[in-house]
Each structure stands twice: as C-alpha cells, then as structure tokens.
Structure 1
Amino acid sequence: MSREVDLVVVGSLNIDLTAGVQRHPLPGETVQATALTTSAGGKGANQAVAAARLGARTALVGRVGADAHGDTLLAALRADGVDTAHTRRDRSAATGTALISVAATGENSIIVSAAANAQLCPADITAAQPLIASARVVSVVLEIPVATAAATARAARAAGTRLVLNLSPVVDLPAEVLSAADPLIVNEHEAREILQRNGFPVPDEDIAHASALLQLGVRSAVVTFGPRGAAVAEPDRAEHVPGVPADAVDTTGAGDAFAATVAWRLSQGDPLPTAARWATLVGACSVQQPGAQPSYPKLDRVLSTAEAAPPR
C-alpha cells in the first residue's frame, strides 16, 4: 500500500503558560516568577511540530476550543506544515491549557487542564481512518480519553500502520492497545510506575527497564533517562543508547521531541535502536532552548550537532 503521510499523531493540543522561577514552590508557598510566556504546546501538537520540523509529512488528529487559544495552536501547526484537517474546533469546551513552572536548573513542573482534549472521541478516529490508512506510522499520546486511544490502536491495526504509544501520563490501558505498541515509549519515572502498577519488580539497571516492559505484551519498548540516554528492547535484543551532552535550559517538551523523532525515523525504515539514537540527539538539541515547540530543531541543526555522520 502506498503511504502518503509519514506520521499521524493522535493527541492533545494545549496553550502553554510558562513561568520561570528560581525554584519550584513548596506546598502553600508563593514564589516570584522571573518571566511569563505563552506558547503553543500539548503532547500531540508538540510531537506533530517536532516531526514536521525534521522533514516528516505530518498530520494531527485532535481538538481545540472555538477560542483565541485554539486559533493560536492551529496557526502554529500550519506554520510548520502540519495537516490540521482532522483537528476539530469544539464549541462546547475551551482549548486545553498547561500551567508550567521552569526552575533555574531547567527542570519543570506541569499542571494540565484537558478541556477540549477530553472531547476527542472514537468517532473522530473513525472519521480519520483514511488518513491513518495513508500513514506509515501513527503515534498516540495519552492526554486523550482511553477509549480514543483504543480506537486508534484498532484503526492502526486494521490499516497495517505501525503504532507508537507514548504512555504519558500513565493510565491503565486495555490489552489491545498495549499489544499494538511498537514501541511503547516512556521515561524512567513512568516506567517505574507502570511496572509497579502491574506487580512487576523494578530493575536496578537502566537497560533492564525496557526489557521489563515487554512483560506487558508490547512489541517493543523504549525508556528514556534524560542525560543518561535511553534503553531499547525488542523480543530478541536490548540495547543502551548513550545520552548526548547538553547544557539544559528547559526540559519542557523534550520527551515529546524524543517520541516524535523515534516515530519519524521508524517511518523512514530505521531499526528501533537507530531511531532512538536520532531521538537522543534531537532531545539534546531541544533542552538547550526555552519552551516546548519553540525549542524544536530543524534537521540542519540536528545534523550540525551530530558533528559526524547521522546516527546509524
């Protein structure tokens, strides 16, 4: 089957309100912000933009409100060439919002109001079935209802389209979703929570985390460890992908850039470890700039950062 789209992302769109702080507040404490910015975000939109900037033919299935924030998000997606034909305006709910604090260390804390994202439903996936069938890879992010994620997994399976599952935030998923994940992508904290929820021991070594997640029935798994890199596991092998040194300014959206890059490289036929090596490189580029989408690099910057040949 001819695939006209490299990547379809099914996920959330949020307007990000980001406050810079010297440190995150303790419970009951008020701290002064050093800066406040408004920008486009949401895990689904972040992935779509990150992949599009790298050169992927990308489309996004999601919902925004019929408000000014929705206008901002759609304009940002279109400016990067993302197909928004299946990103609907919802007149019954406001656009999703993320309240983000970024400490001087670059670490972030995020509160999300799902709003219109919670209205993305299985009927939206049915309407997008021809788009999904035209894609090489579909990536689903869990800031949307579980029933919609399950509908996406079914649609991808029916179309023979590879499914990348970014289980962030962690929620309980039906077996049909987990069994379609190729790969499941989570960070080390999410991996620990998933294993504990399912009664599996948490390994001591980084490389063993991804292998442990295969017990969930997923086809493959990737676990990210920030500057320590990532662990990749498939049924016949496991591998550690070293991190790329970077002076982190803001880690907001770095996980989305990582997942988007994996999906993009898989759509280009790379094996999973190679896709993860590309993703650590893109993630390292993204943390050196403030914000989520504003920090995502284009391919020429990634290649110049690589200094030598692209990852293989």
Structure 2
Amino acid sequence: MNEFTKLKALTIGSATIDIIASVEDHDIERMTMHNATSSFLLLEEGRKIDVSSIKSSVGGGGTNSAVALARLGYRTGVFIRIGKDLEGQKIKEVLAAENIDTHLVVEDGAKPTGQAIMVMSHVRNPTIFTNRGANTALTDDEISPAMFDGVDLVYIASLSGNSAACLTKIARLAKQAGSFVATNPGIRQITYWAGDIIEALANVDLLSINAVEAEQLALTLLPKGQPVATDAPVGDGPALLEKGLGGRSFESFIKEVCSLGPRIVLVTNGAEGAYAGTPDGIRFHPASKAEVSNTAGAGDAFATTFSAYAAAGADLARCLEAATANARAIIAAPDTQSGLLSKKEIDTEICA
C-alpha cells in the first residue's frame, strides 16, 4: 500500500516552457578553465549551428516538484503564476494530465509565461537562457491561509525576482497550518534576499540547497566560525566534511543553520552525492552512476523526493536512497519531468 496517497501536498515556485537544443560535440567548442571549476560553450557569432534535436517540454521548479509528488502518490496542488498565453495553457494541460490541482494557478495579464532555452552538449550540463516572465510577479496579496488547509507538505521551490519577497509569508502560514515545510531556494534568492530567507527559516522544517548555494549561505547569512586550514579536501572522505564551508567545519555549518529553524539541512554536491544534516549529526550518501542525458531537473527531483519521504516520517537513510533513485532516473531522461518515478518504482529499486 502507498501511504503517500493519504497525504496532500502543495508546491510553490516557477513554471516555464523549456526549449531544449542538443548540439553534437563536434559542432560546438568547449573551453575548461584549469585553475577554476568553470567550463564554457563557445558559440561563433553569425554562424548557424545544426543541432541533433530541438524539443519542448514543461519545466520550472514549481511544476517539476508538483509532477514528482503526484507520481509518488501525493494528492498534489500547485501555486504558480503563468501568462494568459498558449504557453500558460500548455502548462495547465500537462499538470491536469498528471492529476495535479490547478485551481490556485494565477494567470497574469501583463507578463508572459516564463520560458527557457537550454543548450546541451559535451557533458550534458546545459547552458540555460531564461525569461522568467510571470514567475517574478507573485505578491503577498495572492497568498492566503486557506491555501494551506489540510496540506501535509508544502514544498517551496526557488522563487524568482520579486516573488522571493513572498517566502516569509508562505512559510509562516504553512507552518501555522501544521504543514511540513520544505524549501529549495536558488543562488539568486540566497544572494539578494538573505534577510527574507533567514526570517523564513524559523518556519522551515527542511532546507535543501546545493554546495554552491550552501557556500553562499555560509558567507552571507552566518557569522564567521572556526576557520579551516585549507580550501582543498585534506583526506579521502566526503568532500564537504573534509573541506568545510565558508571558513567553518561542515558540522558547524549544519548546526548554525539548524539553529535558525530547520530540523534537516540537505546539501547536494553534484556527482559526489548528498549530505543530510541535523543537530545530532550528518549522513552522507554517494551518488550512483547513471547515463547522463540532461542534468537539468536533477536537483528538483532529489529535493522533492527527499521532502516527500521526510514529510511521511521516513528516516534520513531512506530519504537519501529514494531521492538518489529519482534523481538518477531524471538525469537519464531528455527533460526535467518525463523520467520521474512512482513510489513503487523507487521502493523496488531501493530494495533490489
């Protein structure tokens, strides 16, 4: 029996139409910096580049998380902002096909539905051009306590532009309604809306971020702690446990963030794996190898799946195993949603 079917979820975040262009390696140059972690795709000015495929799909953190939760069995609704255009209607059609409640979807008469163009080549880690459109225009007036009535899990994906100012109210009302509150803020949100995030964390159960975002959070929000001796890992253990973050040990970072409110801090570190920390300790789970088709959406799949299991009372080990399985499935898919698994598929894979 799937116990998730008894639970209700609401996701809040962005909705986009993703246009994905796949370019063969020999048709585009790639430059990697030897003294940094950055790589660049080089596009020749004025040149028309042949691509192996161009596909269109629905994406964005709000919709990706909604589809993930619906496939896991949660009775899922979504609170997003779209334009009054064909792209917005396409998003509503896809959500309805996944049995996701769309009655809270806001249609903006002034701004268009968000769109993104992804260029994929070489290591399949896409460069993304984005027009956030209506995603930037959520307002406090559109958020009411009734939205959260009877909701077991409120998942707040990254909020764009002025929508980020709504995080504090969303988290407060969700917590007052008795929901398990999970949030996955993006790097721009952490950088430019630091005060709002630190205020919202008092009402957050689970904070999910990647290692780059964690470094920014450590440097931006938290006081300096015990400095570490080197920026490079000093042993062969999990990298963040060896390296630390923001001039402090990783353990100190987790405790400092938990002191702001969250019971669990989830930090993903790409191909290395993920760390789930509480005031009592840290559990590391290595990533599993998979054929990579597209890395976009992997973070959404991981954080949402972890949240779904955590809200249902699963322990950290189970949450990490389930999240890893769903993220592995999504990076093997050509877009951000088609590879998402059901709970039965995840549990079968974990037990295999």
Letter in 1 for 2:17: I
Residue 136 (structure 1) aligned with residue 138 (structure 2): no
Q: Is the partner of 1:94 in helix, strand or coil?
A: coil
1:59-85 deviations in whole A, cap 9, x for unaligned?
111111110000110111111111111
* Counterpart mapping for 1:196-207 below 5 A: 196-198=219-221, 200=224, 204=233, 205-207=239-241
1:256-292 deviations in whole A, cap 9, x for unaligned?
1111101211232213442222111110111111111
Match of 2:14 in 1: 12
Of residues 161-170 and 194-203 in structure 1, the stretch that sits farther from structure 2 once superposed is: 194-203
Q: In structure 1, which of residues 164, 168, 176 is the aligned counterpart of residue 186 of structure 2? A: 168
Match of 2:293 in 1: 249
Partners of 2:6 and 2:351 in 1: CA distance: 32
* CA contact 2:321–2:350 (8 Å) conserved in 1: no
Of residues 133-142 and 291-300 in structure 1, the stretch that sits farther from structure 2 once superposed is: 291-300
Q: Is the partner of 1:148 in helix, strand or coil?
A: helix
Match of 1:64 in 2: 82
1:144-179 deviations in whole A, cap 9, x for unaligned?
322211110111122121211101234233222122
Residue 231 (structure 1) aligned with residue 263 (structure 2): no
Partners of 1:125 and 1:27 in 2: CA distance: 43
Equivalent pairs counted in the alignment come to 304
Match of 2:256 in 1: 215
TM-superposed CA distance for 1:181, in Å, is 2.5
Partners of 2:7 and 2:112 in 1: CA distance: 29
1:189-224 deviations in whole A, cap 9, x for unaligned?
221222233465687432456641442424221011
Partners of 2:170 and 2:181 in 1: CA distance: 9
* Counterpart mapping for 1:1-312 below 5 A: 5-21=7-23, 22=25, 25-26=41-42, 31-126=49-144, 129-144=145-160, 145-171=163-189, 172-173=193-194, 174=196, 175-198=198-221, 200=224, 204=233, 205-207=239-241, 211=251, 212-216=253-257, 217-219=260-262, 220-306=264-350, 308=352
Q: Which has the larger radius of gyration?
A: 2
Going from structure 1 to structure 2, the CA distance change for 1:303 and 1:270 (only over 3 Å counts) comes to: closer
Of residues 210-219 and 274-283 in structure 1, the stretch that sits farther from structure 2 once superposed is: 210-219
TM-superposed CA distance for 1:133, in Å, is 2.7
Letter in 2 for 1:182: D
Partners of 1:11 and 1:44 in 2: CA distance: 4
Q: Is the partner of 2:205 in helix, strand or coil?
A: strand
Q: Is the partner of 1:167 in helix, strand or coil?
A: coil
Q: Is the partner of 1:19 in helix, strand or coil?
A: strand
Partners of 1:267 and 1:106 in 2: CA distance: 32
TM-superposed CA distance for 1:5, in Å, is 4.5
* CA contact 1:232–1:240 (8 Å) conserved in 2: yes
What is the Cα-based RMSD across aligned positions, in Å?
2.3
* CA contact 1:6–1:57 (8 Å) conserved in 2: yes
Going from structure 1 to structure 2, the CA distance change for 1:33 and 1:193 (only over 3 Å counts) comes to: farther
Match of 2:37 in 1: none
List runs of 5+ in structure 1 lacking aligned partners: none
Partners of 2:312 and 2:175 in 1: CA distance: 19
Letter in 2 for 1:47: S
Going from structure 1 to structure 2, the CA distance change for 1:305 and 1:106 (only over 3 Å counts) comes to: farther
Q: Is the partner of 2:271 in helix, strand or coil?
A: helix
Letter in 1 for 2:167: A
* CA contact 1:5–1:59 (8 Å) conserved in 2: no
TM-score normalised by the chain length of structure 1: 0.89
List runs of 5+ in structure 2 lacking aligned partners: 31-39, 234-238
Going from structure 1 to structure 2, the CA distance change for 1:132 and 1:222 (only over 3 Å counts) comes to: same
* CA contact 2:171–2:181 (8 Å) conserved in 1: yes
